[in-house]
Amino acid sequence: MIMTTSRKKTKISVYLDTEVMQMLSDFAARRDRSQSMVAEAAIASFLSPDDAERREAVLARRLDHIDRRITRLERDVGISVESLAVFIRL
């Protein structure tokens, strides 16, 4: 015997900018989904605690890349200064 549980959804009313509403309509039409389903998924994604952790991980990765580039740049500038000093001595 298969038992299904029906999930009752709550209806809400929201006010959207005309542009945002148009983007929602276009996206839902392209994906062949209802606007309600797209809005529900977007809100769930926005409120997900994992979202903040993912953003933090992406930011940490970018900062790490920037730090490595700056370290490499400092090394290159040091080499250039030493090369110039040797050239001037000669």
Of the ranges 12-16, 43-47, 78-82, which one carries the lowest mean pLDDT score?
A: 43-47
Q: Which residue has the tokens 């015997």?
A: 1
Between CA 39 and CA 44 the distance in angstroms is 9
Is 15 strand, coil or helix? coil
Between CA 6 and CA 33 the distance in angstroms is 20
For 41-71, write each residue's pLDDT tens digit.
Answer: 888 888 877 777 888 888 999 999 999 999 9
* Contact indicator for 38, 31 with CB cutoff of 8 Å: yes
pTM over 0.85: no
